[in-house]
Amino acid sequence: MILETIEMLNPAQREAVEQTEGPILILAGAGSGKTRVLTTRIGYLMQEKKVKAENILAITFTNKAANEMRERVDETLKDEDTSAMWITTFHSCCVRILRKSINKIGYNRSFVIYDSADQVTLVKDCLRELNYSEKAMDPKYIISVISNAKDKLINPKQFKEKYQGDFAKSRIADVYALYQDRLKRNSALDFDDLISKTVELFREHEDVLDFYRNRFRYIMVDEYQDTSRAQYELVRLLAQGHQNICVVGDDDQSIYGWRGADIRNILEFERDYDDVHVIKLEQNYRSTQIILDAANYLIKNNIERKRKRLWSEKKEGELIKIQLAETEVDEAEFVANTISAMVRSGARQYRDFAVLYRANAQARPVEDALNRSQIPYNIYGGTKFYERKEIKDMVAYLRVIQNPQDDISLKRIINVPRRGIGLRTIEKIEDRASLKEESLYSVLIDIDGNSDISRKAKASINEFVDMMSTFRSLKEIYPASKMIEKVMDITGYLDELEKDKSEESQDRIENLKEFISVAMEFESKNEDVSLESFLTNVALTSEPNEEEEHADRVSLMTIHSAKGLEFPVVFLTGMEEKLFPIARAIASMQDTQIEEERRLCYVGITRAKEELFMTMTGKRTLYGRTNHSVASRFIEELPDDCIERLNRVQKEIPYSKASYNMLDKYTKKYMSTVNKAEMAKKANATIKEKTDVSDIDNIKLGSKVHHPKFGTGTVVSLKGPDVTIAFDNQGIKTINKEYTTIDLVKE
């Protein structure tokens, strides 16, 4: 079975599957079939190399990717028992390890996982306790600083030492220390802790590390370019010894530096491990060659990258269309009119289109235009199911039932529905808990001994404690789905919503019923149906529902959100300086930030399968200000033979006339399949023939070369991958040819 699958792979893919021993770096270009390679590789390990399922660990970043990989592996290995194999996300993997052994570093194994809203609440509590002004110290900024520190494995003590001379950062250090103390007191971890505490556990307890190191003899990590320093260290610790570590990624798609991803992890993989086997997956199965040529040409301008070039067997295709509009309103109208024309012609469905933008604020005029044209659409990044108030309330109840020490969740639901426990009473309870260094729940249990609380409030608190005690006894009997029903009923939460006949309340009731369905689905797929296990699953789940994914609607999203997706037709909007690349990247004067913006553009381009439109404006109103625009440098970096400027001379052709002439052209083109084929053939005739082999291997001593940053120079030394070049205007520099692009200047 697995050998038949391998026969269908291209040579590079096959090499990636069959090379199983030692450190392996698979540079997988966009659309190159890396998931197929990974799942086939797992099948090959089990069926041909006779590796046990329990000795394989496959890590990726999202639940969706992990589930897809698991389904493909199960389909490939129908006759094998794969239940002991870990195919998981970084966070899920660490939760499993910590649930078993976190007590060794002083934490309760029944810890809860705080989301971003819980973190904000806790940081506000810390600021109040430290008498720091919330106005002067933004809680969300503090959380981002703490998160960044944890990504780099910097603990509160190290953070304090690092910034002892910085007044603002030293105050954040105080918050960080108290924040971690309160998390521990609440038996809680935030998402960053899941990784950093696992690393801490491994570093401090060699026996625990040895157990997992011996178990996971073969480790595979997907999207390695997106790993943080903490994730890198976690993988490094597990791979020590056997060194059977296979990482898959694309440095050209590293776009999450702002949230801790460190591109050096993939660029320096060959320095971290001995005798690394490098495999490049360069055949793209998604896009036309025209789209790939444009992407290759653009990304070639980056210095920090591994050399590779995407190619496709889809040689025919449409030129990339560049549209200059007068304003963002005209830009949005162009998008809506073009979509309408294609759909009316019968050539496309709404689901074939994606409108991508650099900043969320760009979506509003596009939404308005789509609404005016009665075009259905879906915006990715709206309020997710688990972020809705009623769901967060119910999860908070369940979390307190599971772990009464969870102060954040307790404060959320102690007076929901209203039961006469007001804010002043809660503040008094918090003060007493802080003074005694106990949890809020401990104070509630002993509330009768607190003279600061009124008799009426005490009665309500005692009723609440009795109710929670009942729930805690029921959790030992009932699965999560039944517990949700009990909480909705006994607390009166459902009654309160049913009394309110508003449409909003009815929506909330439907969402709560859907939450019961979520629990039932979880119970049908898992052996461990405990409340603790269900809450862990909820904390790690944040995927769009299937109906949203498959509905016949135009997709609107940021380019960051589009990574991993593909669409027949893509609009890249707002291709202007200070918008894309974004202003802060330009202002930073750092090549690294501009290079990440260029990688983001590369990702946007390679989302398109068949057609790509790139739009810009002469002036744009954004964030309440109107400014004249300058075309993005990324437009100027595209090859002329891959693009068609729809209105090259904007001043001589009024926008409305140009727009509707272009629209009429598209309507006619999509009405006629014959005309479409003729135009595609004509477009392809304008594309220059491009070679798949770089001429870098022909460089010798004395060769004239061109570097995208340093200009023209002469090669004066060659030592392995290092090339020393005397540049005409930049002096002598030594460059690793695997990390950049050097072109031979032909005399």
- Annotated binding-site positions for ATP: 28-35
Q: Of 197, 309, 348, 607, which is the active-site residue?
A: 607
- Among candidate residues 5, 19, 35, 243, the one labeled active-site is 35
* Sequence-separated contacts (24+) of 664-671 with Cβ below 8 Å: 666/338, 666/341, 666/342, 667/341, 667/344, 667/345, 670/341, 670/342, 670/345, 670/346, 670/347, 670/348, 671/345
How many Cβ atoms from other residues are within 10 Å of residue 520's Cβ?
A: 16
Task: From 661, 670, 587, 575, select the one nearest 615 (Cα to Cα).
Answer: 575
Q: Which residues contact 63 (CB under 8 A, 6 or more apart)?
A: 89, 92, 540, 541, 542, 543
733 is catalytic: no
Is residue 190 classed as helix, strand or coil in its secondary structure?
strand
Burial class (CB in 10 A: 0-12, 13-18, 19+), 415: middle
Q: Is 684 exposed, middle or buried (0-12, 13-18, 19+ CB in 10 A)?
A: middle
Cα–Cα dist 339/321, whole Å:
14
Residue 316 CA to residue 157 CA, distance in Å, equals 59
- Whether 34 is catalytic is yes
β-strand 743-744 against 704-707: which pairing, if any? antiparallel
- Token pair for 449: 């001994």
- Find the catalytic residue in 151, 192, 193, 223: 223
| Binding site, annotated residues | 28-35
Catalytic residue among 13, 34, 333, 358: 34
Q: Give the separation between CA 570 and CA 734, rounded to whole angstroms.
A: 40
Of 125, 192, 222, 252, the catalytic one is 222
Question: 2 — phi, psi (to 5°)?
Answer: -70, -35
Q: 405 an active-site residue? A: no
- Catalytic pick among 253, 288, 491, 741: 253
How many angstroms separate the CA atoms of 693 and 679, rounded? 29
Distance (Å, whole) CA 685 – CA 499: 69
Q: Which residues partner with 218 through β-bridges? A: 56
Q: 597 by DSSP, 3-state: which? A: helix
Task: Scan for tokens 């659309």, then name that residue.
Answer: 31
- Residues belonging to the active site: 34-35, 222-223, 253, 607
